Chains A and B, each alone.
Chain A
Amino acid sequence: MPVTDLPLFAMLKTRMYWLEERQKLLAENVANADTPSYRGRDLKQLDFNAALRSASSTSAVTLAATAPGHLSGAAGSEATRFATERGSGFEVTPRGNAVTLEEEMMKLAQNQMDHQAATALYARGLGMIKAALGRK
Chain B
Amino acid sequence: MDFLKTLSIAASGLKAQSGRMRVIAENIANADSTASSPGGEPYRRRIASFRASFDRELQAQVVALGRVQNDRTDFVTRHEPGHPAADAKGDVKYPNVNPLIETVDMREAQRSYEANLNVIGATRRMITRTLDLLRA
A109-B122, A112-B122 given; A31·B136 CB < 8 A: no
Q: What distance in Å separates the Cβ of A81 from its nearest Cβ neighbour in chain B?
A: 13
Question: How many residues on the A side are at the interface (Cβ–Cβ under 8 A)?
Answer: 35
Residue-wise, chain A 14-37 has the 8 Å CB interface mask toward B (1 for contact) of 001101110111111011111110
A23-B123, A108-B119, A111-B122 given; A28·B3 CB < 8 A: no
A26-B119, A30-B116 given; A119·B9 CB < 8 A: no
> Which secondary structure dominates chain A's binding surface?
helix
Asked if A123 contacts B133 (CB within 8 A), the reply is yes
Q: What distance in Å separates the Cβ of B114 from its nearest Cβ neighbour in chain A?
A: 9
Question: How many residues on the B side are at the interface (Cβ–Cβ under 8 A)?
Answer: 38
Determine if B36 is an interface residue (Cβ-Cβ < 8 Å).
no
Determine the distance from Cα of A101 to Cα of B118 in the docked complex, in whole angstroms: 11
> Which secondary structure dominates chain B's binding surface?
helix
Asked if A108 contacts B52 (CB within 8 A), the reply is no
Chain B residues whose C-beta falls within 8 Å of the C-beta of A26 in the assembled complex: 119
Determine if B51 is an interface residue (Cβ-Cβ < 8 Å).
yes
Chain A residues whose C-beta falls within 8 Å of the C-beta of B129 in the assembled complex: 115-116, 119
For this complex, 26 residue pairs linking A to B, each with C-beta atoms less than 8 Å apart, are: A17-B2, A19-B126, A20-B3, A20-B126, A24-B6, A27-B7, A27-B10, A27-B116, A28-B62, A30-B112, A30-B116, A31-B13, A31-B61, A31-B62, A32-B61, A33-B115, A34-B20, A35-B52, A79-B2, A112-B126, A116-B129, A122-B133, A123-B132, A123-B133, A126-B133, A127-B136
